[in-house]
Each structure stands twice: as structure tokens, then as C-alpha cells.
Structure 1
Amino acid sequence: MRDDKLLTRIGALLRQAEGTDNEHEAQAFLAAAQRLATASSIDLAVARNHDPALARRQTPLSRQIAIGTAGKRGLRTYVQLFVQIGRANDLTCDVASNSTYVVAYGYEADIDTTEALYASLVVQMVAASDAYLKSGAYKSETAQQVVTRDYGPWRRRVVEEKALSPITARLNFQSAFAERIGARLLQARDEQRGEALRAEGSGPGTPSTALALRNKELAVADYHRRESTARGSWRPSRATAGYSSAARRAGDTAGRRAKIGADREFGAPRGALEK
């Protein structure tokens, strides 16, 4: 069952993040949004554990989320952002081979929360990478790329240094941004879980919160095993585009400072990468 009140409260926190020029306040509001989502998710998990009828009504499901159109360069960084947010909200994700969509597995409220955060943060990511490229800071940097070279009768893979191109700069920037956002949200989730576990005290037996979270994890994993048709596992990046530590540092910094645009409604169209 969709919890529109929860999404409204999360949206209010995200708008507060946008409304402040203080970087630390903005980070606190984003963390508060994730902590609120985690607290609600814990409450639902505990309720399902104690109410068999509710457990029968609320079961894991899957949802396909469009990421972008085929042929767009850099869709993997969009996927990486979604997967990072989903991990902080107890989702398992399958990814299309061309990165045009993600299939999210989990409980409905957690998928709703992930989509809400993604729809806002992906705009933030693209805007930040646009600003980085427009600044021209990448032009004096280099990237490392693994290439295959012929040496007489032998072929060898070597690492070569090359000028940092705009697309390589963008991909590295956005990948690092996604990683930083994932780390921030996981930290907020783990803090909220820790508070919930401590609040139960240290009585005999397994705390109901810990048991509920474990049962939820197993339910999602079991549902994914039954329903998924994915082959192999998805990895967030490939070395073929080249690696730039400078662009990644810039993306990580932007991820630390990320705020959520107040004009972004949940489910609004996502930004698009340049070809």
C-alpha cells in the first residue's frame, strides 16, 4: 500500500534542504529524509512480523523503472545512482543490459521512497556535472585507460595516460557522485536502525526489530530468486572509458554537497546525459 503521507513528509525535508545555503544543514535534511524512510520501513517490518494477516497483504513485489533511452552515453551512472539509493532502502535491483531500465525488488513503500529520492538526486547529479564541465577544470587533467597494444608477435594490455575528454570527465564525476550519495544514505539508514535496536533494550531473546529486519531481508532475497530472470551480475563501471581521479574527486565533493531541487516533484521527468 502506497504511503502518500510518508512521501509528503520526505518531500518537505528535501525542500528544506533546498531552502538553506548552509551545506551542513542541507546534508542534515537529506539524512533526516532517509532516517524517516528507514523508521517507517522498520515499523512496517515489525508490524508484519506480529500480524500474519498484514504479512499476507504486504509482500515483496517488483517494479520496472525507466532510466533513459537506448543510445544515451552514461546511463550506467544513472543506474548506479538508483542502485545506491535502493541499497539504502532494502531493494535488490536487476539492470537491463543497455542500462535503459532497472527492475527493483522489495516492498512497495521502499520502492516508492527510492524513486522519490532518485527523481530528485539524478537532476542534482546532472546539474553538478554540467557545471563541472562548463568550468573547464577538467581540461588540464588526464585520464588512465587500459588499451591493447601490439609488440611484434605479442599483444599486451597496458595503461596509458591521455587528455581527459568531456565524456570521460562526466562519467567519472557522476560515478563518484553516486557512490557518495549511497554512502550518505547508508550511514543515515544504519544510524536509524541502531537507534531502533537500542530502544528495544537488551532483554532476553532476539529483539523483534532485529528479527523483523532479518525476515524482511530474507523475504526480498527469496522473492528475487523466484522472480528474477537476470543473468550474471551488474557492475557499476567499466575501465574502457578511462579513469580520472580529478573528475572523481570533483564528483565526490558534489555528492557531499548535494541538495534536492524544490521544484522537483516525485516522479517528474529525469534529466538526460549528452551523447
Structure 2
Amino acid sequence: MRDDKLLTRIAGLLRQAENTDNPHEAETFMAAAQRLATASAIDLAVARAHDPAARSRTTPISRQVTIGESGKRGLKTYVLLFVAIARANDVTVDVAGNSTFVMAYGYEADIDTCEALYTSLVVQMVAASDAYLRSGDYKQEMSARVVTRGQGWRARKVVERKPLAPITARLNFQSAFAERIGKRLAEARDAQREEAIAAETDAPLAADGTERVGSSSTAIALRNKELEVSDYYRSASQARGTWRPSSASAGYSEGARKAGDRAGRRAKLGADREFGAPRGQLGS
């Protein structure tokens, strides 16, 4: 079950991130939100490892999350954002062939965290890419893609360069934004895990001089959780084939990607959307 008190605390951190104009403060609050979510997930994993009843009550689930309407351009970049968030929160994802929805596999609280972060960040990603296009900076950039020229034995691959189109600029910008968000969340998660394991390792010995009961249980519990989600995914997933986050035909732009990466570094986690709000289907 979702812990509403925990979600309220995390939502408070996200509001603080959104309401500050100081990028360093925003980064601190963002990391704190992810670390709190990770700490809760660790506590749950450890509790389940020591309590058979808890294991039977709390098991992995699957949930469909809507991404957008069929035919909307750029849906793969929205999926890429959700996948990046999911990877930082122990959630495995299958993607619909047309990228209109994903199936998330993991523990309910972890999926809740993913949806809450996604709902806020997808709005920021689209707004930032809109601002980039309005600035006109992309007009000074070139896109590059590999194309095949000729047929049969005369065929050869060449790099085709041409002025950067708005849709190509948007796709490159949003892809880089999503990748940067994933790195930021993963760093916060890893820091929290390392802290929890270190605290357990440094704990005092038991009265009889033996190692404290449960020592190293955090690392073991996290590994068991990973295996349980993996086993559940293999039994529940009906996916066929492999999802690819981008298409080579779209073209590559270093400038647009750098702009998207910078926006991802500045992004704030959350705020105008609370945990428990309607799930984030994208607007037009």
C-alpha cells in the first residue's frame, strides 16, 4: 500500500524545489526527494526480508501508465523520460509499440514515486523544449544522419547534414533532458543506498561480541527485491521485441542535445502537481 504520510513529505520537498529560484537549492531538494523515496523502499525491503507476513502482503504489481495519444510526435522521448525515472526506482518497464503507454512492473510504492516524478518532469521537459524552439537557437544548428546512397554493390553509407528542423531539434532536446534526469535521480538513489549500507556496517556489535543481527541485511534485502521484481516481470510481461528509444532517421544535433542536457540539470522535481493527482497523460 502507498504510505500517504511519506508521499506528503516527498511532495513537500518537491514544492520547495519548485518554489526556489536558486538552482543549487532546487538540486538539494530534488536529491532529498529521491533519497527519501529510496530510504522508504530500503526500509520496506528490509522489513520484508525479516517478516514472512510482510512478504505475503507486499508483492510486485503491474500498472499501465498512459503516455499520450496515438500519432503525437515525440512520444518516444516521453517514454524515455519515464524509463529513466523507473530505472532509478527499481521499476521495470514495457513499452507499447506506438509508445502511447507503458506497463510498469515493481512494488506499488515505487511505481507511485515514478508516476509522481514523471507527472511533474514531463511538463517541465515540454515547456523547456518549447522555450528552446521559440528562442530560435536551433536555426543555427545542423543535423546529421547516416543515409544509404546508391543501390546494390554501389550502395554506400554517408553522413547527410542539413539545417536542423524544429521537430528534430525537439527530439534531440527532449532525449538529452530525459537522460540527464535519469542520471540525477540515479546519483541520489545510489548515495542513499550507500549511506544505509554504511550505517549498518558501522553498527556496534551485539552484547556477546558477535556481529549485530541483520548486519548487511540492507544489501541482501535490496538484492532480493531486485530478484523478486525480475522474477515477477518474467512471469507477467507479454512484451515481444526490444524497444528502441530513438530513431536514426530523425537526425542528430549536438547543439540541441547540449541545450536539453542543460535544461535537465536545471529541472525541478515536482510542485504544481501533487502525489495522488491524476496520472500524467500528455496534453496536445
TM-score tier, shorter chain, comes to: over 0.9
Aligned to 2:184: 184
Aligned residue in 2 for 1:148: 148
Deviations 1:56-102 (A, max 9, x none): 11001100000001101100000000000000000110000110000
Q: Which moved more, 1:71-80 or 1:255-264?
A: 255-264
SS, match of residue 90 in structure 2: coil
Q: Deviations over 1:84-131 (max 9, x none)?
A: 000000011000011000000000000000000000000010000000
Contact 1:139 1:164 (8 Å CA) reproduced: yes
1:241 & 1:272 partners in 2: Cα distance?
22
1:78 corresponds in structure 2 to 78
Q: Which amino acid aligns with 2:113?
A: T
Alignment partners' CA distance in 2, 1:194 and 1:164:
43
SS in 2 for 1:230: coil
Match of 1:244 in 2: 253
1:220 to 226, 229, 241: 229
Question: What is residue 200 of structure 1 aligned with on the other side?
Answer: 200
Identity %, equivalent residues: 71
Residue 261 to residue 56, structure 1, CA distance change in 2 (3 Å): closer
Note the C-alpha offset of 1:152: 8.2
Shift of 1:156: 2.2
Give the equivalent residue in structure 1 for 2:18: 18
Task: Determine the C-alpha separation between the residues in 1 that align with 2:172 and 2:187.
Answer: 23
Cα deviation code 1:139-196 (max 9, x no counterpart): 0100101222116862222211111000000000000000000000000000000000
User: Which residue is equivalent to 1:265?
Assistant: 274
Q: Counterpart in 1 of 2:30?
A: 30
Q: Which residue of 1 aligns with 2:206?
A: none
TM-score (norm 2): 0.92
**Equivalent AA in structure 2 for residue 38 of structure 1:** T
Q: Deviations 1:24-50 (Å, cap 9, x if unpaired)?
A: 100111110000000000000000000
| Structure 2 residue runs without a partner (length 5+) | 203-210
Aligned residues: 273
C-alpha contact 1:126 1:272 (8 A) present in aligned 2: no
Distance 1:112 1:97 in 2: 23
Report the equivalent of 1:159: 159
Q: Which residue of 2 aligns with 1:88?
A: 88
- Please give the root-mean-square deviation of Cα atoms over the aligned residues, in Å: 1.6
Q: Give distance in 1, aligned partners of 2:129 and 2:13.
A: 24
Counterpart for residue 205 of structure 2 = none
- Equivalent residue of 1:2, what SS? coil
Residue in 2 aligned with 1:53? 53
Quote the Cα distance in structure 1 between the aligned partners of 2:44 and 2:167: 43
What's the counterpart of residue 97 of structure 1?
97
Contact kept, 8 Å, 2:201 with 2:215, in 1: the verdict is no
Post-superposition Cα deviations, 1:188-247, rounded to whole Å, max 9, x if no partner, equal 000000000000016489610011000000000000011111112222212110000000
The counterpart of 2:263, out of the listed 231, 238, 254, is 254
Q: From the CA coordinates, give the structure whose radius of gyration is larger.
A: 2
Aligned to 1:170: 170
1:127–1:148 CA distance, 2 compared to 1 (3 A): same
The alpha carbon displacement at 1:259 in A equals: 1.4
Equivalent position amino acid for 1:175 in 2: S
Q: Which residue in the other structure is 1:113 paired with?
A: 113
C-alpha distance in structure 1 between counterparts of 2:53 and 2:268, whole Å: 40
CA contact 1:91–1:105 (8 Å) conserved in 2: yes
Cα distance in 2 between the residues matched to 1:206 and 1:19: 40
